[in-house]
Amino acid sequence: MYINILVGKGPYQVASNIGPKSEQNKTPLIGKAVKCLEAICQSQVSFFPIVEVKTRLRIATLFLQHSHNVNHAKSHLERSQLLLILIPSCFDLKQREHGTNLSKQKEDLREWERKLQEGEERLAKGQSILNQREERANENDKMFKQNQKDFEDAQKKIDETNMSLKRKEDDISIRLANLTSKEKEYDALRLNLEMKEKELLELEEKLNARERDVIQRLTDEHNSILEAKKH
């Protein structure tokens, strides 16, 4: 490989032949190809700038096609850009490098668009889940407020019923107290009537006895008079 490079077959031609042969076993051969191409760039042998430009362009292509090492590809592309500035006649390489950069930027843009779309889908899904949770939270809050209102209404009715029962209880207590007082008055009046009735009976007996005495006395006097007239 190095012999071909040094004898004039051309490093770019060697670099171009490495890629397709690596399809059978990509990872080891791609690594060797990159090392070989990087050795060309670091060689002490003097090459035309166009050789290094094409070599670095090939390295960047291998990195972009067979790995995710974007930083290394970017480094080689930037170095190629600087070398191309020194080679005004290499318009085709400049155009190719710009095309490579444009393709890479397009791929990056598509990747970012894909990630953005996935992020928007996740965001939409998360927003949908959030909306559902918010709806459930609103329903739970509505049910809680309704239960609280029902509880307050029931508590109000219980308080009103308790107040009504308290008023009735107080009224019954007052009526019972009045009834007890009237019963006591009735008992006192009954006792008074019984005493007066007893006194009236005693007085009636006395009057009857006196009346009997008077009648007896009048009868005796009348009889005495009749007896006296007979004699």
> Model-level pTM?
0.32
- The answer to which of 7-21, 30-44, 124-138, 193-207 has the lowest mean pLDDT is 7-21
> Mean pLDDT, to the nearest integer, of 11-18?
44
> Mean pLDDT, to the nearest integer, of 19-44?
67
pLDDT at 93 over 60: no
Measured distance CA(94)–CA(114) in Å, rounded: 29
The length of the chain in residues reads 231
The region, left, alpha or beta by phi > 0 then psi within -120 to 50, assigned to residue 10 is left
Provide the 10 A C-beta neighbour count for residue 64: 20
**With 0-12 CB in 10 A as exposed, 13-18 as middle and 19+ as buried, what is 49?**
middle
> Mean pLDDT, to the nearest integer, of 207-223?
84
Q: Which residue has the higher pLDDT, 11 or 41?
A: 41
Mean pLDDT over each residue of the chain, to the nearest integer: 78
- DSSP designation for 68: -
Measured distance CA(90)–CA(88) in Å, rounded: 6
